[in-house]
Amino acid sequence: MANQIAQSTNSSSLADILERVLDKGVVIAGDIKVNLADVELLNIKIRLVICSVDKAMEMGINWWQSDPLLSTDARNKALEKENAELKSRLSELEKQVAALLPPKSSSN
């Protein structure tokens, strides 16, 4: 008898599995704790959500929209805020320098 490899009739392709995962979402949670003599030295909580962007938005997860490294809109807002702060600081410095200078005299 020859050995034959049985194939499942219900096998799913990787694309089908990925589509299901992204459509429904998967949550992976775990904690890592390092103790030494009953003293907690390190506590790491890991939470991983794998889903589509649409599903994440549906769940209220949209942190990438406000991250300046990932969003040009957030980057522009951060730059505008920094620019406004710098202009304010420059204006204050100009006022302080003007107060230190002697008044201008008009000579004829």
The number of distinct structural domains making up the chain is 2
Residue 96 resides in a domain:
yes
Residue pair 87/95 in contact (Cβ under 8 Å)? The answer is no
Q: Are residues 49 and 80 in the same domain?
A: no
Residue 43 resides in a domain:
yes
State the residue range of the domain holding 87. Answer: 72-100
User: In 3D, which of 14, 24, 31 has the Cα closest to residue 56?
Assistant: 24
Q: Are residues 47 and 80 in the same domain?
A: no
pLDDT number for residue 10 = 54
Q: pLDDT (tens digit, 9 = 90+) per residue, 50-76?
A: 888 888 888 888 888 888 788 888 888
Mean pLDDT of the residues in the chain: 82
Q: Are residues 46 and 81 in the same domain?
A: no
pLDDT number for residue 50 = 84
Q: Rounded to two decimals, what is the model's pTM?
A: 0.40
Task: Give strand pairing partners of 46.
Answer: 30
pLDDT number for residue 107 = 62
Residue 92 resides in a domain:
yes
Please give the full DSSP string across 20-31, using - where no structure is assigned.
HHHHH-EEEEEE
Residue 107 resides in a domain:
no
Q: pLDDT (tens digit, 9 = 90+) per residue, 70-84?
A: 888 888 888 899 999
Q: Are residues 21 and 54 in the same domain?
A: yes
